[in-house]
Amino acid sequence: MTSKRFFYLSLSLSAIILLSFALFNYCRNDYGLFGYKAKPLKIYGQQERLPKYLFSYRYIPENFEGIIVGPSLTDNLNPELIKDYKIYNASIYGGNATELRLLVENALRQQDSEVKFLILCLDPYFTKDSGKKTSHIDPREYRGSLGSVDTIRLYYNQFMVKAGFTPDYFNSYGCFDFTLEKPNKDARPYIKDAAQKASSKQKIEINPEAFEDIRQIIAAAHKNKLQVYAFYFPRPHELYLLRQQHYLDYQAKMNSLFAPGDIVWDFNSEEYLDFSNDYRNYSDEAHLSKLGATALLREIEKKLES
């Protein structure tokens, strides 16, 4: 065999393998991008940026009437518990407003979108920085779903979860149960330690780009005639009191983004003191336990019903 013939034979075999792999991924359709409607999809492993972004093309807009948007503080809310509404939790662990804006805008620009309302979590953590933290939230990932290192990683994670080697953190509604391995973690020492280190003089800074990202998320919802719900995340009350005025100043600025028809409320108000004073509702100085996440979701459900 001549070197020229060997080259073309190798090139042809490589092309056949790549095309076969792409066709295999197309038929599996793990991200619901190709000819998909009702099959429930979920995330395997703990990396959620890529799948949630790809879900925003078809899975979320075609199968859910509501979207929860927030950072890790709301990532373990399980919308499946709300029986009268089909809601997807698009929150991202460690996510910021820039990343969630790209996801929401992508979902709402789809022609077959069934989304009718948006539930937005507001907290200083969500607006402290801006910009994408990874390259996964990018339109190029649409083509990458047909064959990439991330695709191979997806199959590996699927195997590890289905074989029982790693925990199954996610459900098909986007809930990330990050307390799964430590369900009874005592938050009291974390909250007490944070209270000792906190300073009432430390102001809450709002990143200008993040503020603009939140404005654009709300504007996209209004443009698509969505009902907007927004709430201020319940910080443990003793921590909230240390910086109460700063939180109120933060809320005053963020409230300027909303229209009269939007529904905005504060989980740090006196109405919810029983919640924010209960250590059992937290897994550390900020994140909610499974008990707290369920209780918070029930309060959101009341707003939806009213």
For residue range 161-218, what is the model confidence (pLDDT) as tens digits? 999 999 999 999 999 999 887 777 899 999 999 998 887 778 899 999 999 999 999 9
pLDDT at residue 180, as a whole number: 86
Count of residues making up the chain: 306
- Tell me the C-alpha distance between 126 and 250, whole Å: 12
The yes-or-no verdict on residue 110 having pLDDT over 70 is yes
The amino acid present at 15, given as its one-letter code, is A
The yes-or-no verdict on residue 16 having pLDDT over 70 is no
Residues 97/179, Cβ–Cβ less than 8 Å:
no
- Tell me the C-alpha distance between 47 and 90, whole Å: 13
CB atoms within 10 A of CB 295: 18
pLDDT digits (tens, 9 = 90+) for 32-41: 888 755 589 9
Query: Within 13 Å of residue 137, how many CA atoms lie on the same side as its CB?
Result: 25
What are the tokens at 69?
A: 């948007």
Q: What is the mean pLDDT of the chain?
A: 90
Helices (H), the chain: 3-28, 49-55, 59-63, 97-108, 140-144, 149-162, 188-197, 208-223, 237-242, 244-255, 273-276, 290-305
Q: Tell the residue number behind the tokens 């900020």, with chain if given.
A: 286
pLDDT at residue 142, as a whole number: 84
- Give the CATH H-level superfamily of domain 16-305: SGNH hydrolase (3.40.50.1110)
- DSSP assignment string, 213-224: HHHHHHHHHHHT
Strands (E), 99-248: 117-122, 227-232
Instruction: Render the burial of 9-18: b for 16+ CB within 10 Å, e for the rest.
Output: eeeeeeeeee
Task: Look at the pTM and tell me if it is higher than 0.95.
Answer: no
What are the tokens at 54?
A: 């790809």
pLDDT at residue 13, as a whole number: 62
